[in-house]
Structure 1
């Protein structure tokens, strides 16, 4: 029986209502595989950890809660979530209290993990490739790691690049750049986050994130 390819959305529109990465859109899938064209460097190692976790949950039949336990530590290791949240909120972030920042960070972490799990369900069959060349970012000291997410060996897949910053905990992701046009995830989210904060405050944004987590857990 022939297998259909995963439907990868080239536009990859982001925001509170969209998945971070391409979601499966057909009923049958290509076999899952994990590939990297060169040994991981210190810069790309966190991304390999993340992709290995996503590949693991694709091959599992685990519950949503069990998949959180697989993907959660990988997200913590791969991302500087505090930096991503700060960039996603913008200048308003500086005026938040330390307590509000911590509450938002916790909700944002749950949202990030749930969004990944929703996008890479068991049996999804996405294939991950990390390219060996590390680019210099226009922002001083940062690096860019280019990857592709596809459904078989014949196509490179959808480009997904990561902005990496070397901080106290080593190299971590501070932004995700999607498709050939390299759409910034943080910039794309900023409008949604800012609008929600303006209308509902910190509790309003947390409520929206929590509702999204619930939706992702039921999908």
Structure 2
């Protein structure tokens, strides 16, 4: 088990949620419920609002209408969520290990050391290499390592499988399965197929 057991099962709920950029609404009237141990796949064409919805759920964009609730969160649970955007946020002149330690200092640490997390995602041999030398798929694996080092019950993931090879996609599926088993939840924007029984799909339409 790579994630700690969530102390209080959390349910993500939205009521009549509308989100967009500026005054442009990309998605509206969203009544969502994502219980602990499950996930939601956001599907749809480019510009349909998948990334915008993730940013809104993360609190990085204000809703244009409606409400967001994370029910069941306890006062001592600490930070609730990881938001991992479609950009990898890699500093090219820091080593792979330094990059992960940097994020650990910001996000906090759990029971998985940085070195062990890199081994888990297949980057152990690159730990002392400048992160700028990593391929796009390797950089995406480094993002996954952040989830292991700093466990949080809510994962908001934007294109987590982008640039991953077949083994990388299998690793992502394994990490999600373990996260769900530990009582976590996830909302994932993706164009790829992630076939897990814990996942349901929300199709967002093309923008007007």
Q: More strand by proportion, 1 or 2?
A: 2
TM-score of the two chains, using structure 1 as the length reference = 0.26
Q: More helix by proportion, 1 or 2?
A: 1
